[in-house]
Structure 1
Amino acid sequence: MNIKRTIGKRPPLFQKLLFSYRKRFQPDVITMEHGIRLAVPKTLPEDMRKILYKEQHELPELELILTCLEPEDKVLEIGSGVGMVATTCACICGARNVTCYEPNPNTIDVIRRNFDLNGLKVDLRVRALTTKKGTVNFYFSENIVSSSLIDQAFGGETEVKCDDIGDVVKELQPTTIVMDVEGAEIDLLPKADLSSVKKIVVEMHPNIVGADKIQALHTHLENQGLLYKKDLCRSKVAYFER
């Protein structure tokens, strides 16, 4: 599937009219500016549907993926959300080269629907990634996007199966890691052998874990040869490249 590698090029008036149309008619499927089809089922919270209609969900990650990912990359995505980023990665690299982890039981059907809409068979693993295989408490909220291994009083809690990130990285040998795990990045990335990894796109959460721990993660990654590319970063989403 061919997709556009740039976004944000629509005329503002067209974008405004498109959002108004979507808001009024509430379509269950939209085509995003870069070309993928995205499910917007009525089972999603209204605020989430509005963000998807505006095409603002995970926009910083999407911009980086479209800019930096290459067809020869092999992607491990940790924290797939509704599957929009994973779908984009699979369109660029091929579905066989993308593996994604998402333990939130409220989003799995949406992720699978997005893969189906775009004719993709992606390796979706309905588990968490942690530093030890087994089970773990997972916390989530009704807004879908807020979910974490860290208890932030979201209101929802369940026990999920989990894999060891070290084992998974050794198994898959990804060249690219895409991660949005609401603060768990500071524990996960230092526990994996990153020698195969050339690119990391990771949303940082200093508001959850503290700026000192984020700086320690930066230092660790740079010591591994993955350099922080400040000019390519977007909002809280950091980009590291070997």
Structure 2
Amino acid sequence: MKALHGLAQGKRAGQFMQDLLSLRGVRIPNEPDVITPQVARSIRAERYEKDEVTGLPKFIDPEDRVVELGAGIGFISSYLATQLNVRRVMCIEANPTLCDFIGRVHAANGIEGVEVLNAVALADSHELGMSTFYIRDPFWSSSLDPKPEYVQEVSVPERHLSEILGDFDANVLIVDIEGGEKYLFDGANLANVDKVYLEVHTRKIGLRGIKACFDHLSALGFAYDQRVSSGGSVLFRRVGRR
């Protein structure tokens, strides 16, 4: 009986291991409600967030205090913690289902102490209330834009970007919010931020939207860093500060 019990435990452990995907040293629970076949293919082929993880080691320091907007499935925050030894990370994600999943990803990687906030970060000029967030499949297409078609809409609390950054004393901001970057930095207070790593969604905001976003960052004292930027993943550094 002991042998059979041990065999059963081994089978359960083996099944658990089979239900974990691995990407660049990060374990990701293979839960089909979130990790759909398209997402799983991207992870297995190591295409998921490829540009971001290529750039991050070039400018991230372990002592950085990172706020991530659009935290998705928690891969980037887990990569920062497990592979780059960043100790202070805060995740902001509008999709409440993904917020729960991020917690499970962190647990699978032995990560503790990362705050996950279900919210939408907006420019300081915006009067706070609730935002309607439109969820799509795959999850990375979800946004505040009601077009194209979506599978679900949820109401999400709004927070001012400057308040989030100030409360956390962040010096690094990572942004992947499917077009929400267009006006995010308009009049924002980024006083303690040195580095902004931004995924630009040209198909959502067009060239005029990119210009508006870049102009706002320039007005706040940031410059494009060609050495790190690649494709749609762009790093801005504060001029005169490292």
Q: TM-score range by the shorter chain?
A: 0.7 to 0.9
CA displacement, residues 49-79 of structure 1 (integer Å, 9 cap, x when unaligned): 1111122111111111122110111001000
TM-superposed deviation, 1:202: 0.6
Does structure 2 retain, via aligned residues, the 8 Å contact 1:106–1:144? no
TM-superposed deviation, 1:241: 1.2
- CA separation in 1, counterparts of 2:117 and 2:200? 23
Determine the structure 2 residue equivalent to 1:130: 122
Does structure 2 retain, via aligned residues, the 8 Å contact 1:180–1:203? yes
Q: 1:190 is paired with a residue of what secondary structure?
A: coil
CA displacement, residues 110-160 of structure 1 (integer Å, 9 cap, x when unaligned): 211110011112110122212343211001102111111122223121111
What are structure 2's unaligned runs of at least 5 residues?
1-16
- CA separation in 2, counterparts of 1:159 and 1:74? 28
Determine the structure 2 residue equivalent to 1:171: 167
Does structure 2 retain, via aligned residues, the 8 Å contact 1:146–1:154? no
TM-superposed deviation, 1:93: 4.6
Determine the structure 1 residue equivalent to 2:74: 83
The structure whose residues are more often strand, as a share, is 2
Which of these residues, 17, 20, 23, is aligned with residue 29 of structure 1? 20
Does structure 2 retain, via aligned residues, the 8 Å contact 1:40–1:52? no
What are structure 1's unaligned runs of at least 5 residues?
1-25
- CA separation in 1, counterparts of 2:142 and 2:96? 11
Does structure 2 retain, via aligned residues, the 8 Å contact 1:166–1:191? no
- CA separation in 1, counterparts of 2:67 and 2:132? 22
Aligned length: 215
- Structure 2 counterparts to residues 66-81 of structure 1, below 5 A: 66-81=57-72
TM-score, normalisation: structure 2 = 0.82
The structure having more radius of gyration, on CA atoms, is 2
Q: 2:96 is paired with a residue of what secondary structure?
A: coil
- CA separation in 2, counterparts of 1:152 and 1:176? 31
Which of these residues, 97, 103, 114, is aligned with residue 106 of structure 1? 97
- CA separation in 1, counterparts of 2:40 and 2:224? 33
- CA separation in 2, counterparts of 1:143 and 1:154? 12
